[in-house]
Chains A and B, each alone.
Chain A
């Protein structure tokens, strides 16, 4: 009897257990839901001013926050929240934030940081990126620099945040070289200029005593090539930004224009016009050997390398109006890729390789557009009185170009691959012919 009781209890317990296990399983059928639409919205992100232990570092911290905020907002993928709404304003970077204070604001991510100056006078900036919902730290990094270089630190942090939250590389620690324009239309002064991608630190590279056109960055970000137009004729120059040294790539019979570096910086492709015929040439910068790639009697110009350096896209009017063509880097395999109505010019191959941007004139409208290298999936991104000269951000998602209003001056604008995020670039001066640098080292 004493042996039967435990057995009975055991059976009862097991039965209860079986029921307890079975019933929730039965009720808890896993419902699968397909999420196959989605939306494309800017992600709400809170960026409080980076803290500082003294007025100097506190100012740097606030300035860094401003630059990061501007970068992320202009990307169109983030919505920095109004700092005035913040419940907490002076976060200690070494203390985990109180996420409830950020959730209630609708923030999905939080960037906080701290600026200090160490004993050697170096600026040390710590920052952390948090997922507000999960409380997980997504990034925690430290940057060191000279205090006057805080802007680049802010751009680096912007890139890190952008990359972590989107999965693609950023484009904030970059520069733009462009043609700064001034003076009356009859005596326009066009100077080579350079600035940070956010419009900060603009400076002139030439003195305006001659006209400059179509500046282009090399892959090493320290060298640009451009066309200079003097009374003696047109020349293509290589300009080292660090040293200020510049040299011409040589004399050519006729007019040379539209230079562009190969992805490895070892070659420059350009056009030479002679007797009404323009053709595409490539020069090896080490040997200075020049190869003619096109021989068609039509106007062939605006060559741009594919990211792998094996092909070139250019425009040619050999079919009657300017259209886009692709050829191998040795000039073989020429094929037309644009077949839409209108005139296609200034093609630029995306650094990602997936699109070719162009200027399109159709009727009275000018557009910036993109298409696949095989000519498919053409998208018109902008439309105005005059939009021209696209250049890619290094991540291949954003384009800068210049827009001119009727009777007005040219200004720099940006647009993303969807065409939805269209806005003036943060440089308000008259400017044209922008060229976006690769990410700085």
Chain B
């Protein structure tokens, strides 16, 4: 009797515990696709920079720096030692040649005088996913044959503006093959990789002349897409983060390219299961050769 009572007392406890575990697991599964989402802008609050406006919720912010020094204008005081002199040492004598036409000089346009607008007491909006400027799509055939051909030429480089499928290494193709269950799936996966790679290659703004950029290790950015080809969550830099400002700027440019590139409308919805998650591997060393 005592035993039975103990059993009946144990069963509800077990059910309860299992239900709780299942609930946690379900919550985890449901939250899985969103786990990569960044915690948007609310980094920190302002310190002195917004001291003049304490009532407004400030956005994310770093500590302000002190003011710049003010150096006095150099005195244009001419000192006049002795009188002018004879011939100066000469510059080289040029031969006639039509000068190279110069590009137009940029002229900054002044902004209109700011009009007073009612302040916005509303809490700041985080990243609103508005329609981003859609880049022009590269026109290309994304067939496996062409892609394989490009693999064979993986050592030959294209110009920065060259169009065409991205270079996929054989190991990558093999990896893709392992993940795909049929020939059609493989094709879908490889086509998706080619399409996404082509787009990112045309939008990744590399800064090869910045000191240290050419020496950067690969920067890997992971992102997930919706069936429509839009971003699901925010792209994440999955490479080890570095404090180097060149790395930081390059990583942000890599993420920026993903935002600019989406939505990838050329990806067929019916094969969504084959192309949902991407890792873009930005190779500065290769790109700046």
Contacts and interface: CB of A to CB of B under 8 A. Distances in A.
A20 B200 CA distance: 32
Interface string A35-52: 111111101000111111
A285 interface: no
B100 A230 contact: no
Interface in B50-81: 50, 52-53, 56, 58-62, 64-81
B29 interface: yes
Nearest to B283: A36
B211 A352 contact: yes
Name the interface size band of chain A.
35 or more
A134 B38 contact: yes
Contacts of B142: none
Interface string B262-278: 00000000000111111
Contacts of B201: 35-39
A209 interface: yes
A265 interface: no
A28 B227 CA distance: 12
Contacts of A190: 88
A365 interface: yes
Contacts, number: 443
Interface string B115-132: 111011000111110111
Q: Give the size range of B's interface with the partner.
A: 35 or more
A35 B280 contact: yes
B145 interface: no
Contacts of A38: 160, 201, 204-206, 282, 287
Interface in A86-135: 86, 88-90, 92-96, 98-100, 103-106, 108, 116, 124, 126, 128, 131, 133-135
Nearest to B68: A156
B119 A92 contact: yes
A294 B258 CA distance: 56
A411 to B, nearest CB: 10
Contacts of B9: none
B84 A27 contact: no
A36 B89 CA distance: 50
Contact of A90 (B117, B158, B192, B202): B117
B104 to A, nearest CB: 8
Contacts of B166: 33-37
* Secondary structure of the A contact surface, majority rule: mixed
A33 B200 contact: yes
Nearest to B94: A386
A131 B252 contact: yes
A61 interface: yes
Contacts of A13: 18, 22
A232 interface: yes
A319 interface: no
B14 interface: yes
B103 to A, nearest CB: 6
Interface in A289-320: none
Given A33-B197, A39-B202, A404-B94, 6 more contacts: A32-B175, A88-B117, A104-B130, A134-B41, A145-B70, A354-B211
Interface of B: 7-8, 11, 14-15, 18, 22, 25-26, 29, 32, 38, 40-41, 43, 46, 48-50, 52-53, 56, 58-62, 64-86, 88-89, 91-92, 94-100, 102-117, 119-120, 124-128, 130-133, 158, 160-162, 166-169, 172, 175-176, 179-180, 189, 192-193, 196-197, 200-213, 222, 224, 234, 244-250, 252, 254-257, 259-260, 273-283, 286-287
29 contacts: A6-B18, A28-B277, A30-B277, A31-B189, A32-B193, A34-B168, A39-B203, A61-B114, A62-B113, A73-B108, A82-B109, A92-B120, A95-B120, A100-B125, A128-B59, A133-B127, A143-B65, A152-B68, A168-B210, A173-B68, A207-B79, A210-B81, A230-B84, A231-B86, A255-B89, A365-B97, A384-B97, A386-B92, A418-B209
